[in-house]
Amino acid sequence: MIAMRTVLGGELRRRRVAQSRTLRQVATEAQVSVGYLSEVERGHKEASSELLASICRALSLPLSALFTSVAQEYSAIEAEFARAQGVTPLRSTASHSLATNQAPVSEVEVAPAQVSSRSAA
């Protein structure tokens, strides 16, 4: 399964590139080294919430918008992973939770028979 930091870093990079900005420009505004920002974008470093907020400010991107994009992409990745494992996702909950203001539920629900057969392997 892909690491959350990889999806998050990829989204930061897409947003930066869409603005035609360099790593140096964003790193300077975010007050972080170019190397560290590069590692965050490549998913090699786990960024703190303070660092993410600083990078988002430098990109004029609401932190909530970043998290929403990442949640939607990760939801699709989880669903694909579940299909590859032979488990059927019952429903996508990211957009439902956002639209209804309800707490999210598990993206993939597994029938008890599937759980026991996987545990025995």
Q: What are phi and psi of 99, to 5 degrees?
A: -75, -35
Q: How far is CA 23 from the centre of its chain?
A: 20
Residue 117 in this model has a pLDDT that exceeds 50: no
pLDDT at 5: 96
Cβ proximity of 92 and 79 under 8 Å: yes
- Chain centroid, CA 105 distance in Å: 17
Q: Which residues neighbour 98 within 8 Å (Cβ) at sequence distance 6 or greater?
A: 68
- Is residue 62 helix, strand or coil? coil
Residue 85 clears pLDDT 90, i.e. is over it:
no
Does pLDDT of 70 surpass 90?
yes
**Domains in the chain, please, with CATH?**
4-61 (1.10.260.40), 67-120 (no CATH)
- CA distance to 2, 85, 86, 107, per residue, from 116 (Å): 24, 14, 14, 19
Question: What is the value of pTM for the model shown?
Answer: 0.70
Burial of 99 (0-12, 13-18, 19+ CB in 10 A): exposed
Count of helices and strands (H, E) across the chain:
7, 0
